[in-house]
């Protein structure tokens, strides 16, 4: 590690100027829960470190018009404490609550979870199921990209992740999340799933399902979505959805040593998100 | 689908080095300025609470409070050897040495009091809250503090030694009685096994531990909780993945130990059946508190799903493999 300078930035403009000037020599730090480890292990060796944790406009959760916007340096703990993520947005609350430990949730940020690019990032599948849009800024201007496409065209060295936003769901649109970790805290996800379901009576009128740790990055599970669309959520449908997802996994993870376990375990996780969606739809508080 | 089961594990554990091996603890007790009592003893605190329990045993024997005692330990230039903090032996062995040293110290203090109080003998003298008192005429009394002032140029001290009694096993037959005394325990757990993820979730645990006499019940419960948590990790999580003697699983991101969230509230029961050769009946429990937990969990898994697991740790992947194999065989 050979850091020459640390900037304690106060504004987005200052950061994007610095990133424009230093490019790949610079690294942005917010909560530091991933980056400090990478620095210690010399996985990354930036000359310049830009601390963005004190920039007001990157912080917090805002409700504007039909959108909910989460600033990139909003911590997992702030999401967990926010009343916005009760009831039909419970999935994001649950995902953020299952991140690491209280210390990590107090420091780690939503923006960092996306920018770090881990396939096991817990907050990403629910944000992806919400069809979120990521806003990035650089000296060349603003770039907006859907979170689903983001991983094919991720953050560039001159870009700063500003925020992520999604449409506020209606009462009949429900977000859920489930995670398979090997212990009850500080567990790296082995499997995560999130679903966003719009119910019309008991029928699934529209649906998005996103997974974590089932590919190189979190992704939409379109085969399951297609299968579930227009069906009502009953035991037979859930069983069918599990089979569809298993087939997708068999193709995608062929030859991987983790496949035999994951293809069995997925049933519990898929069942959990679907049953939870139904429970919230029926007015049962999930927490 | 989740299945529940209950399992019990029992153990008895011989404390001390055993098998005729010399097992000796020593202590020196000294009257310090201000009437304080110094216990010089090579007892090592490794988190088990030796510092607290040894002081309690000394205080009980000398009729003072724990605050009146300075335990000087873990510096071999200042104290006699008391053996290792191992083999669950400190409470019983070193506790005995301290008790003997304190009993000898009583006699030393009685002798000095006899002189200072102008008595004919030490008969009828007792120790009471830092004073030597003549029991039938309590106006005759002198404090440790006063004695320390009178004898400030002289060291008042006493030694104590305890040699544990063990016998060697017959090397040809392996027969004999190599350990003494034993501590006993029993643990019962209820688990829930997720048949699709292989995750074993502990629901309830009751843990009964024989301690002879609980010198400090809170510390004892701490040991029981700690032993349970360690055993829980070793049963369900911890896998070094040794390959040709090399630890492959060498990062705490992968080498999982239980977090506070994985630990459950254990209902601890302390069994007190005093051992007559032990200091106030107290025996060690350090290692045995870990022993019955894994058998209890494995028995509970068997009770839940009918599968015997014979290799630790029972990771979700291993359990799923066992479940699949059982399905194939049926």
What's the pLDDT tens digit per position in A263-277?
Answer: 999 999 999 999 999
What was the pLDDT predicted at B49?
93
Cis peptide upstream of residue B204 (ω within 30 degrees of 0) = no
Q: What is the percent of chain A where pLDDT is above 90?
A: 94
Q: Is B192 on the interface with A (CB under 8 A)?
A: no
Cβ within 8 Å, pair A264-B317: no
- Rounded Cα–Cα distance for residues A164 and A144 (Å): 9
Domain A56-167 classified CATH 3.30.300.20?
Answer: no
Cβ within 8 Å, pair A264-B258: no
Q: Tell me what the mean pLDDT of segment A61-83 comes to.
A: 97
What was the pLDDT predicted at B253?
86
Cβ within 8 Å, pair B196-A180: no
Query: Chain A partners of B198 at a C-beta cutoff of 8 Å?
Result: 261, 264-265
Beta-carbon count within 10 A of A238 CB:
17
Q: Where are the domains of chain B?
A: 2-15+181-329, 24-162
Q: Among all chains, which residue has been given the structure tokens 């977090």?
A: B259
Choose the CATH number for A5-51 among 3.40.50.410, 2.60.40.4070, 3.30.43.10, 3.30.1330.40. Answer: 3.30.43.10
Query: Chain A partners of B317 at a C-beta cutoff of 8 Å?
Result: 261
Q: Which helix (H) or strand (E) holds A208?
A: strand A203-212
pLDDT band of residue A201 (cuts 50, 70, 90) is: confident
Q: Give yes or no for residue A19 having a pLDDT over 60.
A: yes
- As for the ipTM of the complex, it is 0.88
Chain B residue with Cα closest to A258: B317
Residue A271 tokens, joined: 């069942």
Chain A residue with Cα closest to B261: A184
CATH fold match for the domains B2-15+181-329 and B24-162: yes
Contact between B210 and B184 under an 8 Å Cβ cutoff? The reply is yes
Query: Chain B partners of A33 at a C-beta cutoff of 8 Å?
Result: none
Cβ within 8 Å, pair A264-B320: yes
B131 catalytic per annotation: no
What size, in residues, is chain B? Answer: 330
Contact between B65 and B119 under an 8 Å Cβ cutoff? The reply is no
What was the pLDDT predicted at A285?
56
Q: Among all chains, which residue has been given the structure tokens 């948590």?
A: B229
B34: DSSP letter: G
Q: Is B241 on the interface with A (CB under 8 A)?
A: no
The CATH class of B2-15+181-329 is alpha beta
What was the pLDDT predicted at A282?
86
Between positions 99 and 128 of B, the ones with CB within 8 A of A are none
Query: Chain B partners of A269 at a C-beta cutoff of 8 Å?
Result: 197
Contact between B228 and B207 under an 8 Å Cβ cutoff? The reply is yes
Q: Which helix (H) or strand (E) holds B4?
A: strand B2-14
A6: DSSP letter: E
List C-alpha distances in Å: B209 to A169, B47, B91.
55, 19, 15
List C-alpha distances in Å: A97 to A80, A105, A278.
6, 8, 21
What was the pLDDT predicted at B34?
97
What was the pLDDT predicted at A87?
85
- Rounded Cα–Cα distance for residues B193 and A71 (Å): 40
Contact between A16 and A22 under an 8 Å Cβ cutoff? The reply is no
Closest among A262, A226, A272, A223 to A119, alpha carbons compared: A262
- Rounded Cα–Cα distance for residues B149 and B310 (Å): 66
Q: Give yes or no for residue A287 having a pLDDT over 60.
A: no
Chain B residue with Cα closest to A264: B196
Q: Return all residues near B28 (Cβ < 8 A) that are at least 6 apart.
A: B39, B40, B41, B79, B80, B101, B157, B158, B159, B160
Which residue among B194, B262, B321 places its CB closest to the CB of A184? B262
Which residue among A183, A260, A269 places its CB closest to the CB of B259? A183
Interface test with B, best of A40, A264, A267, A269 (most B CBs within 10 A): A264
What was the pLDDT predicted at A202?
82
- Rounded Cα–Cα distance for residues B15 and B90 (Å): 9
Topology of A173-281 in CATH?
Enolase-like; domain 1 (3.30.390)
Query: Chain A partners of B199 at a C-beta cutoff of 8 Å?
Result: 180, 182
Residue B286 in 3-state DSSP?
coil
> A119 — alpha (psi -120 to 50), left (phi > 0) or beta?
alpha
pLDDT band of residue A286 (cuts 50, 70, 90) is: low
Interface test with A, best of B317, B320, B327, B328 (most A CBs within 10 A): B317
Q: For the packed helices B95-117 and B50-62, what is the interaxial angle rounded to 10 degrees?
A: 30
Paired residues of B323 in beta bridges: none
Question: Looking at B131, B190, B275, B287, which residue is catalytic?
Answer: B287
- Rounded Cα–Cα distance for residues B6 and A275 (Å): 28
CATH fold match for the domains A5-51 and A173-281: no
Q: Where are the domains of chain A?
A: 5-51, 56-167, 173-281
Contact between A182 and B316 under an 8 Å Cβ cutoff? The reply is yes
CA dihedral A63, A67, A73, A77 (to 10 degrees): 60
Cβ within 8 Å, pair B262-A183: yes
Closest among B62, B149, B155 to B103, alpha carbons compared: B62
Between positions 254 and 283 of B, the ones with CB within 8 A of A are 256, 258-262
Chain B residue with Cα closest to A180: B197
What size, in residues, is chain A? Answer: 287
- Rounded Cα–Cα distance for residues B177 and B224 (Å): 27
Question: pTM higher than 0.90, yes or no?
Answer: yes
Paired residues of A50 in beta bridges: A7, A28
pLDDT band of residue A226 (cuts 50, 70, 90) is: very high
Cα A210–Cα A245–Cα B327 angle in degrees, nearest 5:
135
Residue B254 in 3-state DSSP?
coil
What was the pLDDT predicted at A190?
94
Interface test with A, best of B195, B197, B238, B250 (most A CBs within 10 A): B197
Cβ within 8 Å, pair B261-A183: yes
Domain B24-162 classified CATH 3.40.50.720?
Answer: no
Q: Which residues of chain B have pLDDT under 70?
A: none
What average pLDDT is seen over chain A? 95
Closest Cα in chain B, distance from residue A138 (Å): 34
- Rounded Cα–Cα distance for residues A63 and A79 (Å): 13
Q: For the packed helices A90-97 and A259-281, what is the interaxial angle rounded to 10 degrees?
A: 140
φ/ψ of residue B259, rounded to 5: -95, 175
Contact between B143 and B35 under an 8 Å Cβ cutoff? The reply is yes
Q: Return all residues near A128 (Cβ < 8 A) that are at least 6 apart.
A: A147, A148, A194, A208, A210, A218, A219, A220
Cβ within 8 Å, pair A265-B259: no
Contact between B89 and B83 under an 8 Å Cβ cutoff? The reply is yes
Distance of CA A37 to the CA centre of its chain: 20
Q: Tell me what the mean pLDDT of segment A208-237 comes to.
A: 97
């Amino acid at each position: 590690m050979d850091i020459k300078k640390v900037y304690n930035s106060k504004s987005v403009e200052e950061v994007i100027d610095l990133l424009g000037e230093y490019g790949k020599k610079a690294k942005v730090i917010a909560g530091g829960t991933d980056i400090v480890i990478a620095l210690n292990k010399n996985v990354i060796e930036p000359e310049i470190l830009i601390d963005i944790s004190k920039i007001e406009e990157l912080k917090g959760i805002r409700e504007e018009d039909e959108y909910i916007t989460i600033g990139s340096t909003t911590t997992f703990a702030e999401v967990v404490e926010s009343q916005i993520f009760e009831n039909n947005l419970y999935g994001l609350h649950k995902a953020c609550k299952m991140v690491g430990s209280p210390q990590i949730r107090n420091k780690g940020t939503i923006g960092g979870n996306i920018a770090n690019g881990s396939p096991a990032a817990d907050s990403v599948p629910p944000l992806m199921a919400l069809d979120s849009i990521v806003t990035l800024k650089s000296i060349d201007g603003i770039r907006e990209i859907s979170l689903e496409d983001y991983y094919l065209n991720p953050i560039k060295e001159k870009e700063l992740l500003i925020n992520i936003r999604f449409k506020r769901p209606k009462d009949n649109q429900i977000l859920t999340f489930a995670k398979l970790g090997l212990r009850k805290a500080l567990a790296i996800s082995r499997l995560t799933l999130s679903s966003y379901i719009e119910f019309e009576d008991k029928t699934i009128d529209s649906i998005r399902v996103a997974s974590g740790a089932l590919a190189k990055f979190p992704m939409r599970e379109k085969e399951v979505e297609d299968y579930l669309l227009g069906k009502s959520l009953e035991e037979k449908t859930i069983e069918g959805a599990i089979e569809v997802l298993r087939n997708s996994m068999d193709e995608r993870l062929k030859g991987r040593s983790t496949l035999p376990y994951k293809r069995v375990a997925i049933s519990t996780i898929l069942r959990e998100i679907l049953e939870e969606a139904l429970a919230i739809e029926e007015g049962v508080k999930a927490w | 689908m989740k299945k529940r089961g209950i399992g019990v594990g029992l153990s008895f554990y011989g404390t001390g080095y055993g098998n005729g091996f010399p097992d000796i603890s020593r202590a020196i007790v000294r009257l310090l300025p201000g009437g304080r009592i110094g216990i010089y003893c090579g007892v090592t605190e490794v988190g088990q609470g030796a510092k607290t329990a040894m002081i309690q045993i000394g205080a009980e024997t000398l009729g003072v409070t724990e605050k009146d005692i300075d335990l000087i330990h873990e510096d071999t230039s200042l104290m006699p050897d008391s053996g290792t903090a191992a083999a669950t032996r400190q409470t019983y062995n070193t506790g005995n040495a301290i008790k003997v040293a304190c009993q000898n110290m009583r006699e030393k203090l009685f002798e000095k009091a006899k002189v200072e109080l102008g008595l004919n003998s030490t008969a009828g003298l007792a120790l009471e809250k830092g004073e030597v008192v003549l029991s039938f005429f309590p106006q005759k009394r002198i404090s440790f503090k006063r004695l320390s002032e009178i004898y400030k140029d002289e060291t008042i001290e006493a030694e104590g030694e305890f040699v544990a009694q063990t016998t060697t096993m017959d090397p040809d037959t392996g027969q004999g009685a190599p350990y003494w005394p034993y501590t006993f325990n029993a643990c019962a757990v209820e688990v829930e096994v997720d048949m699709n993820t292989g995750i074993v979730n502990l629901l309830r645990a009751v843990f009964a531990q024989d301690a002879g006499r609980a010198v400090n019940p809170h510390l004892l419960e701490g040991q029981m909780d700690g032993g349970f948590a360690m055993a829980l990790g070793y049963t369900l999580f911890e896998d070094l993945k040794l390959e040709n003697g090399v630890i492959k699983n060498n990062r705490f991101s992968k080498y999982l130990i239980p977090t506070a969230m994985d630990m459950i509230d254990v209902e601890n029961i302390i069994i007190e059946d005093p051992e007559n050769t032990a200091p106030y009946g107290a025996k060690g429990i350090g290692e045995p508190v870990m022993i019955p937990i894994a058998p209890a969990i494995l028995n509970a898994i068997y009770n839940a799903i009918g599968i015997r697991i014979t290799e630790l740790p029972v990771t979700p992947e291993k359990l799923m493999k066992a479940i699949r194999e059982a399905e194939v065989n049926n």
